[in-house]
Amino acid sequence: MLTVLGETRLAEIAHKALRAAEADQTEVTVTSNASHLTRFATNTIHQNVSETDVTIRVRSIMGTKTGVASGNELDDEGIGRIVSSAETIARFQQENPEFKGLPEPKPIQGVDAVVQRTADATPMDRAEGVEKILKLSRAAELEAAGAFSTEDQELYIANSLGVGAYHRGTVASALTVVMGEDSSGYGAAASIDIADVDTEAVGRAAVDKALRSKNPVKIEPGEYTVILEEEAVADMVFFLGYMGFGALAVQEGRSFMSGKIGEKITGENVTIWDDGSDPRGIPLPFDFEGVPKQKVVLIENGIAKGPVHDSFTAGREEGAVSTGHALSMPNTFGPIPINLFMAAGDASKEEMLASTERGIWVTRFHYTNILHPVKSLLTGMTRDGTFLIEDGKITKPLVNLRFTQSVLEAFANISMLGASVKMVKDDWNSIGHCVPAAKIDGFHFTGTSGS
Amino acid sequence: MREFTDRALDVAKSAGASYADIRIVRQENQTIGVKNGIVATLELGGTYGFGVRVIADGAWGFASSNRLEKAEIDRVAKLAVAIAKASAISKAEDVDLGPPEVHVDTYKTPVEINPFDVSLEDKVDYLLAADKEARAVEGIAIAEGSLGFLREAKTFASSEGSYIDQELIETGLGFVARAVSEGEMQQRSYPNSFGRHQAKVGYEFLAQWDLPGHARQMAEEAVALLSAPQCPSGVKTIILDGPQLGLQIHESCGHPVELDRVFGTEAAFAGTSFLTPEKYNAFTYGSDIVNIVSDAVSPGGLGTYGYDDEGVPGQTTDIIKDGKFVGYLTSRESASQLRKIHPDAPARSNGAMRASGWHRLPIIRMNNVSLLPGDCSFDELIADTDDGIYMVTNKSWSIDDKRLNFQFGTELAYEIKNGKLGQMYKNATYTGMTPEFWAGCDAICSAEHWHIWGTPNCGKGQPGQVAHTGHGAAPTRFRNVQVGVME
């Protein structure tokens, strides 16, 4: 079994680099991962991969000049070369008067995010989990595609001012799209504990939707009441974070929160915060500068509160401190929150459905993208289970629809929120957001697909 | 290197593999970013490792490691075989790779100036000069420029007898000026948006595109856009510039002709394709002036290479011929699968399998998927258009999971009235369905206006892989397109 290296070994690598450093200040980030993924399509496993890697990234500071180098060759010579490259770049660099230095150490409250059975999962464990989905799909004469992955990742950040932060976490994730001739359904689950990832339930949800979405009909685009399942809400919350919850976006006027802090920007039933310590998500208790993550309320009862800071944006604003939301530094994008939570309401999806005279049920969105960040305007498609609601019941499956919608406007029109939250893992990274389902009035659909 | 590749192949075969290949890959990159007069990022990166891909019990297995050592090679090769055997429990049929591919060769990207031989100082000065030009324009809030250089050295060896060394070099550059007012932000990018324009070329690329010489114009246009009217909506004639058309080709032609998507292996993530196998050689994709090729050999294209990551030679293949759909992007396995449905389909792969690094399994990726040039000049095209919109530089893109319904936004648009460019518009978008859209294509500018635009950010696969693709395009006209949805 491939495993990560452990805190002692990562600390050794980091401190070897720090000892080799000659810069005024030095930061070393060491990441180690053991990742495994079993992928399936047309009811068979077609891809089964496993990887381990360790990388080191060195940020060298000379005055206010910064150089960065990274690599994955970790013998003494390799580490020395990376440190030396970072310092050569820093010497050559220009002064950045806005840079105030690396952060000082602060106490970090660790989060227990390792579940050993997730780390120990074998290719056979994953194949057996996948087989449960495939069995359901075959029995229904449908075709399943998807992936079942397990990851064990660790991160050590040290700097010459005494920061030494270590975190290890596991993640298991299963998702499937089950397809018929003209229909499809989706199921997904993710958790730090593989035991919580019930692939049979994932398969059942997807098969059920694939069966119910046969023979879809087209509906005219326009304004509709929608019931968005958690995956669709998570997509919108993710984009809010990306577009505007970071301090640099606010400072530069490219955020929907620029000039709006303290003002009402959504409905009163919307509260969104970031919390890297909550194990319902994929926890990370500190950021990529080793600063402990604070719980930051971004929107409270509809009022803009945030944003999140890194040490650079905090240094540009009087009275601001880093909230522990730095990405790898330096960068030109600024901090973003990666552990978002949206407050639940008190409704069940059944209650949302029963209360809807006419509307559209959305399982999830596809290929969402930003049209205008300051207006929080997005476009994207529905996918894998879009249904017409009439008189409190789902009556017909629908051909997928394109939406073009401001998130803030949608979040001003939420009439019901689900009573529980689901953790939805990002497709590309080990980050997850916990959100409820939502019933939203006046949602803008602007086109339909042909299938 | 032979010592390592032979060992991996021998161990895999001894463990039960019927086929094995190994890729040993070293990637070095250099990125430089300047923002508002400050060198905001300057980073050197590198990664080195190997991946072993095997077929055992008729199924695929893959494992990789960052430690190129004999014991580690043994462990990884055996693990790849064990994974293949685990995968075999749910296989429908044995993997068929088709005819063997045996090539012993070397390939290098031809460059005039190796970008890794140029000083950092020269590179930074180039970006600072562009930055200064942009920030001389009143109203510019953010000026941001970047350069990126990549060198990839890879060795491929297979149990069929291939042994191929390649060195690929890329140079990329880009600049964006952003103007901000209350509740509004507008931007202009050059030569392309979302980071940079990139190509398999050397440092000579910087003189060719001259960011400092264009930054001021970008800044002026960004400021002008703040007060420009919203692009009007309606069914209209549109002309797309090369960069926007490049992305249109990428999303609405390049992805749907990836044969792994067609066969469903990307269904759960990126989606499938409307170009299903029964449409092969039997479907009208666009008007009869639409000719699209898959091309891995044109000099300078970001998707240009000597061999793909299955050791198949780079080549040119027709995808759309006179408007008819005639070809897919294929791998060895998918080419064999297609031939079972269409016995007249080529037996061999057309060489489109690539991995983003040593730690990823190759999947079907676009190389340079290009719309071949037509015969008119840009001035003639505008003069020939009575009423329309000219759309410039991509700002937003989205397309459904079968690659049919799309919506794009551009940074800039101009009214075309009575054969002349007129009013500037902001926030232009257009939307449509792929075959209807391409059926409306009625004029393509000539080779003089044609260029292979690099897309260095194409995401696909699980685990995710980012590929570098190219798209040859010249300004092109489309009739009856729905413009605008924004209020």
Residues A382, B13: Cα–Cα separation, whole Å: 46
Residue with tokens 């021998």: B10
- The three-state DSSP-derived secondary structure of chain A is CCCCCCHHHHHHHHHHHHHHCCCCEEEEEEEEEEEEEEEEECCEEEEEEEEEEEEEEEEEEECCEEEEEEECCCCHHHHHHHHHHHHHHHHHCCCCCCCCCCCCCCCCCCCCECCHHHHCCCHHHHHHHHHHHHHHHHHCCCEEEEEEEEEEEEEEEEECCCCEEEEEEEEEEEEEEEECCCCEEEEEEEECCHHHCCHHHHHHHHHHHHHHCCCCECCCCEEEEEEECHHHHHHHHHHHHHHHCEHHHHHCCCCCCCCCCCCECCCCCCCEEECCCCCCCCCCCECCCCCECCCEEEEECCEECCCECCHHHHHCCCCCCCCCCCCCCCCCCCCCCCCEEECCCCECHHHHHHCCCEEEEEEEEEEEEEEECCCCEEEEEEEEEEEEEECCEEEEEECCEEEEEEHHHHHCCEEEEECCCEEEECCCCCCEEEECCEEEEEEEEEEECCC
Query: What is the dihedral sign for C-alpha A400, A401, A402, A408?
Result: negative
In whole angstroms, give the CA distance from residue B20 to residue B12. Answer: 7
Average pLDDT over residues B109-125: 96
What radius of gyration, in Å, describes the C-alpha atoms of chain A?
23
Q: Which residue of B has its CA nearest to A188?
A: B268
Residue B448 neighbours by CB distance under 10 Å: 10
Superfamily of B2-226 according to CATH: PmbA/TldD superfamily (3.30.2290.10)
Q: What residues of chain A lie within 8 A of the CB of B401, using their CB?
A: 366-367, 381, 383, 400
Considering only alpha carbons, which residue of chain A is nearest residue B37? Answer: A96
Q: Which residue has the tokens 């297979």?
A: B158
Distance, in Å, from the CA atom of B27 to the CA atom of B47, rounded to the nearest integer, reads 5
Chain B stretch 247-266, residues whose beta carbon is closer than 8 A to a beta carbon of chain A: 263-266
Residue owning tokens 């990234």: A57
Axis crossing angle, helix A199-212 with helix A123-139, rounded to the nearest 10:
30
Gap from A273 CA to chain B (nearest CA, Å)? 24
- What does the pLDDT read at residue A418? 98
Residues of chain A in contact with residue B267, where contact means CB-CB under 8 angstroms, are 41, 143, 145, 177, 179
B377 in contact with A at a CB cutoff of 8 Å?
Answer: no
Which of the following CATH numbers is that of domain A7-205: 3.40.50.300, 3.30.2290.10, 1.10.10.410, 3.40.50.880? 3.30.2290.10
CB B342 within 8 A of CB B281: yes
Q: CA–CA separation, B443 vs B459, rounded Å? A: 31
CA distance B270 to chain A (A): 8
With 0-12 / 13-18 / 19 or more C-beta atoms within 10 angstroms meaning exposed / middle / buried, residue B5 is: buried
CA distance, residue B399 to nearest chain A CA (Å): 6
In this structure, chain A runs to a length of 451
Set of chain B residues whose Cβ sits within 8 Å of the Cβ of A373: 185
Q: Which amino acid is at B126?
A: Y
CA angle, corner B221, sides to B217 and B223, nearest 5? Answer: 120
- Whether residue B120 lies within 8 A of chain A, CB to CB, comes out as yes
Q: Which two tokens stand for residue B265?
A: 């292996």
Residues B471, A185: Cα–Cα separation, whole Å: 33
Q: Which residue of B has its CA nearest to A178?
A: B268
Give Cα B48 distance to the centre of its chain: 23
pLDDT tens, position by position, B429-480: 999 999 999 999 999 999 999 999 999 999 999 889 999 999 999 999 999 9
Sort B480 into a burial class: Cβ within 10 Å, 0-12 / 13-18 / 19+: middle
**Which residues in B lie closer than 8 A to residue A48 (C-beta atoms)?**
59-62, 83-84, 86-87
Contact call for residues B477 and B237 (beta carbons, < 8 A): yes
The full set of domain ranges for chain A reads 7-205, 216-451
Of B461, B318, B5, B429, nearest to A149 (Cα)? B461
Q: How far apart are CA B389 and CA B440, in angstroms?
A: 15
To the nearest whole Å, the CA of A420 is away from the closest chain B CA by: 25
Residue contact B84–A48, C-beta within 8 A? yes
Q: In this structure, which amino acid lies at residue B420?
A: K
Please name the residue of chain B whose CA is at the shortest distance from the CA of residue A131: B90
Measured between CB atoms, which of A130, A134, A450 is closest to B433? A450
Number of neighbours of residue B121 by Cβ within 10 angstroms: 9
Q: Which residues of A touch B82 (CB under 8 A)?
A: 123
**Considering CB atoms only, which of A69, A379, A383 is closest to B401?**
A383
Nearest CA in chain A to B410: A371
Q: What is the pLDDT of residue A44?
A: 87
Tell how far CA B480 is from the center of its chain. 28
| Distance of alpha carbon A88 from the chain centroid | 35
- Which percentage of chain B shows pLDDT scores above 70? 99
Give the residues of chain A that fall short of pLDDT 50: 451
What pLDDT digit, counting tens, does each position of B224-266 carry?
Answer: 999 999 999 999 999 999 999 999 999 999 999 999 999 999 9
Comparing A127-131, A358-362, B112-116, B377-381, the range with the smallest average pLDDT is A127-131
C-alpha to C-alpha distance for B195 and B189, rounded to whole angstroms: 9
Rounded CA separation A136/A244 (Å): 42
Give mean pLDDT, residues B93-106. 96
pLDDT of residue B487: 46
Opening angle at CA B11, ends B8 and B17, nearest 5: 100
**What are the phi and psi torsion angles at B190 (to 5°)?**
-150, 140
For chain A, say whether B41 makes contact (Cβ under 8 Å).
yes
- Cα–Cα distance between A268 and B409 in angstroms, integer? 32
Strands B59-65 and A438-448: unpaired
- Cβ–Cβ < 8 Å for B431, B407: yes
Task: Compute the average pLDDT of residues B35-50.
Answer: 92
* Alpha-carbon radius of gyration of chain B: 23
A73/B contact by beta carbon, under 8 A: yes
A399 touching B (Cβ < 8 Å): no
Record the tokens describing residue B413, joined without a space: 């648009």
pLDDT of residue A1: 56
CB contact under 8 A, A70 and B120: no
Instruction: List the 52-111 stretch of B: residues with Cβ below 8 A of A.
Output: 59-66, 79, 82-84, 86-87, 89-92
- Looking at CA atoms only, how far is residue A268 from chain B in angstroms? 22
pLDDT in tens, B196-232: 899 999 999 999 999 999 999 999 999 999 999 999 9
> How many CA atoms lie less than 13 Å away from B392 in the CB half-sphere?
19
Token pair, residue B372, equals 């071949």
Query: Least CB-CB distance to B267: which of A38, A41, A451?
Result: A41
pLDDT, residue A49, reads: 84
All CATH 3.30.2290.10 domain ranges in chain B, comma separated: 2-226
Predicted confidence (pLDDT) at residue B486 exceeds the cutoff of 60: no
Supply the pTM of this predicted model: 0.94
